[in-house]
Amino acid sequence: MTLSAPGRVLLFCWLGWVLEFYELVLFAFVKPALGLDLALDTAQLAWIDGLTFAAAALGGVLLGRHADRHGRRRALCASIACFSAGALLTGLAQGFASLALARVVLGLGLGGEWGVGHAAVAEAHPVARRNRAAAALQTASPIGLGLAAALGCFVAPGVGWRAVFLASSLGAALILLARWSMPDDRAPAGSPRLPLALLLDPRHRASTLRIGVLLVLHMTGFWCCYAWLPSLLLREGGASPAFVGGFHVALAAAHALADLVFGRLADRFGRTRVFVALGVLSAAGLLLVALGFERLRHDAVLVGLALAAIGLGAGTWSAFGVWFAEAYGPELRATAASLLYNLARVSQLVAQPLLALAFAATGTLAVALWVGVACALGSALVAARAPSTASSVDAVAVGAEARPRRVGRRDSER
């Protein structure tokens, strides 16, 4: 079967996002062995994580601006080449300095993939298909997580963490598909270089602040769940590594399913309504685990309810790509998406140390789940109270992509 032009764009961006998320999360699964081999303590490894996120924020700005000025294809190829080079350097690292350099290079590349990819997919699909296309792209996140867990837990112990990172660098070969899948969308000569200050001009300020707040809440909730839930179940819940691994694989599968169905539900009921409903569902699932993590391994009903609620609730991530497409014109879209997404990542340099203080004060890691509940409910509240993000800039594109049609009440909420 021959893929259509929009399908090729979606496939290329999806593969790039799988690789990006895999490269980011893989480090967490091999960190103990890597730290032992390179004689790095917990504080040094924490600095490595911090440098990676900081570099991702800078990379998000640089690659987002590059995409808006010189085209999506060039920026995506630069992103893939950069984080693949970072994976190669990680596999060759000999100590703190060389590892820090490797992760900075990797972070610079990671910063551009999500935002530029969502911009490219939104622009390749007609407005009526954007919800489903963005949701399909977002399934790359749980797939990348599952791939990192599988290689980090089952392959790396046998072949070594270096071999896994060296093999990961071969993902750079994806660039060879760029000409087949991505249009040559170089910006025309003389196109304006728009300042970042435009993100806070009167037309964009409300959308920038709202989406920025939602991303910070989502990023904090995500890392509270995925970074601390395994340790909570192992240390305080009495669970075995096999149970924890199986639980997270199932969680990733439920998350992928949620991303797939989000677009159809958004088309049927309105994106904001679905986002709010899934946010509340996610909070309910995290609350179940926070209250019952000690008996989770023995209670099949509790496990099923928690997996369904948390995994399906994660489908809210699928809304962001279309929100960026609605709120910003093509000359600013990739910049906005890359910058705000990676600033949300950097916010974890504040959120995670504060969480560590909460652990010390309460004596339990379960506080991470309570923070996750608050973030999920906060996201639902912010989304429910916010006006439409639709931008007048995009009206020209809409007119070119579809004939005028009557806009009903449900459409106005998407």
What pLDDT, in 10s, does the model give residues 337-396?
888 888 888 887 788 778 878 888 898 989 999 999 999 999 999 999 876 544 433 333
**CB half-sphere exposure, 222, CA atoms < 13 A:** 20
Q: What is the pLDDT of residue 182?
A: 85
Is the CA virtual torsion 87, 344, 217, 386 positive or negative?
negative
Burial 108-132 (b: 16+ CB within 10 A, else e): bbbbbbbbbbbbbbbbbbebebbbb
Residue 186, in any domain of the structure:
no
Burial class (CB in 10 A: 0-12, 13-18, 19+), 142: buried
Please indicate, yes or no, if residue 260 is contained in any of the structural domains.
Answer: yes
* pLDDT tens, position by position, 96-115: 999 999 999 999 998 888 88
For residue 368, the domain's CATH number is 1.20.1250.20
Separation of alpha carbons 19 and 6, rounded Å: 20
Look at residue 180 and tell me if it is in a domain: no
pLDDT score recorded for residue 406? 39
- Would you say residue 287 lies in a domain? yes
- Torsion angle of C-alpha atoms 394, 395, 396, 399, degrees rounded to 10: 130
Residue 260 and residue 133: Cα distance in Å, rounded? 9
Q: 115, 75 in Cβ contact below 8 A?
A: no
CA distances from 288 to 212, 231, 239, 247, 296 (A): 28, 17, 16, 15, 9
CA 106/CA 87 separation, integer angstroms:
6
pTM, two decimal places: 0.76
The C-alpha angle with vertex 217 and arms to 216 and 218, in degrees rounded to 5, equals 90
Dist CA 232 CA 268 (whole Å): 38
Residue 190 lies in a domain: no
Query: Which residue type, as a one-letter code, is found at position 58?
Result: L
**Do the domain assignments include residue 146?**
yes
Residues of the chain with pLDDT under 50: 188-190, 389-414
Mind giving me the DSSP string for 307-352? HHHHHHHGGGGGGHHHHHHHHS-TTTHHHHHHHHHHHHHHTHHHHH
Token pair listed for 114: 């999500």
Q: Does some domain include residue 192?
A: no
Other C-beta atoms closer than 10 Å to the C-beta of 395 total: 11
CA 158 to chain centre: 29
Domain limits for position 160: 5-175+197-412
For residue 371, what are its two tokens?
A: 């923070």
Residue 68 lies in a domain: yes
Q: How many domains does the chain have?
A: 1
Burial 183-197 (b: 16+ CB within 10 A, else e): eebebeeeeeebeee
